[in-house]
Amino acid sequence: MKIVVIGGTGLIGSKLVAKLGEHGHQAVAAAPSTGVNTLTGEGLAEVMAGTQVVVDVSNSPSFEPTAVMEFFETSTRNLLAAEAVAGVGHHVAVSVVGTERLPENGYFRAKIAQERLIEKSSIPFSLVHATQFFEFVRHIADEATDGDTVRIAPVSFQPMAGDEVAQAVGGVAVGTPLNGRVEIGGPERFRMDEFFRDALAGWGDPRQVVTDPHARYFGSELEERTLVPGDGATLGKIRYRDWLGRTAQAG
């Protein structure tokens, strides 16, 4: 099966391309660096030839509200149009657990717009909502930093390993289109402030984690279950401490 992975040179995309290839699929990494630009349309017709499935794991280079909306709307429209011409039978897009619960956030508002375009298209689709990646944890801490403190809300948090995101997305990609959504998350649920307090201590990071119910997550206040999946979600098996240990050894 030929599967085109939009954003296939990135963190999740490169893992997905590798996993699909291991299972005998013709997985093609599509990105500006490989001659495919979803914003301009460059290379789309060529890469879509003979493609059965398209998986979109691309991300906007800018999270500024106007720019991120422009990215996801333009990119998705161009993709869907090229797929329709090529006769692609399954469009898979990766999004974030809690997207619909943070509509005031510019990034999540753009992801909602992306999903609506996909849902309204004629192409069978699957939406995969993932929790935060372990690989993204340090960035979350940096974003929440105020001087020498890290302000984190005491809400539920259930991150997962990037390898298991790729594995789950790959499983959806080779399956029957859901014409709906599936949620995926990590095997452990933490209180977010306690998780980051332990994480920073483990990194030997001198910043102090401050519990703040009004702390903002990329500009938005969180409620208890904003970032965690609902009942019936597919959960990974890799625990954060085990992943951290393996990452340290690999480094």
- Per-residue pLDDT tens digits for 155-175: 999 999 999 999 999 999 999
Q: What is the predicted pLDDT for the residue at 250?
A: 65
Placement of tokens 């929790």 in the chain: 131
Reported as a single tens digit per residue, the pLDDT across 64-123 is 999 999 999 999 999 999 999 999 999 999 999 999 998 889 999 999 999 999 999 999
Residue boundaries of the structural domains of the chain: 2-250
What's the chain's average pLDDT?
95
Give CA separation, 209 vs 183, 204, 213, 223, in Å: 29, 13, 13, 19
Contact by Cβ (8 Å): 94, 128: yes
pLDDT at 143 over 70: yes
Task: Give domain 2-250's CATH architecture.
Answer: 3-Layer(aba) Sandwich (3.40)
Q: What are phi and psi of 230, to 5 degrees?
A: -85, -175
What's the average model confidence in pLDDT over 29-34?
97
pLDDT at 251 over 60: no
Placement of tokens 């240990």 in the chain: 245
What's the average model confidence in pLDDT over 240-246?
92
Q: What are phi and psi of 188, to 5 degrees?
A: -125, 140
The band of 249, judged by pLDDT with boundaries at 50, 70 and 90, is low
Looking at residue 100, the DSSP 8-state letter turns out to be: G
Q: What is the predicted pLDDT for the residue at 103?
A: 84
Element (H, E) at 217: strand 216-217
**How far does Cα 120 stand from its chain's mean position?**
21
Q: What angle, rounded to 10 degrees, do the helices at 106-120 and 65-86 form?
A: 20
**Number of alpha helices (DSSP H) and beta strands (DSSP E) in the chain:** 8, 14
- Max alpha carbon distance in the chain (Å)? 55
Question: Residue 145 and residue 67: Cα distance in Å, rounded?
Answer: 24
Please give the residue that has the higher pLDDT: either 200 or 248.
200
Give buried/exposed letters for 102-125 (b at 16+ CB in 10 A, else e).
beebbbbbbbbebbebbeebebeb
Q: What angle, rounded to 10 degrees, do the helices at 162-173 and 11-22 form?
A: 50
Reported as a single tens digit per residue, the pLDDT across 194-219 is 999 999 999 999 999 999 999 999 88
Q: What is the predicted pLDDT for the residue at 173?
A: 98
Report the share of the chain in percent with pLDDT over 70.
98
What's the average model confidence in pLDDT over 124-148?
96
Question: Residue 142 and residue 7: Cα distance in Å, rounded?
Answer: 24
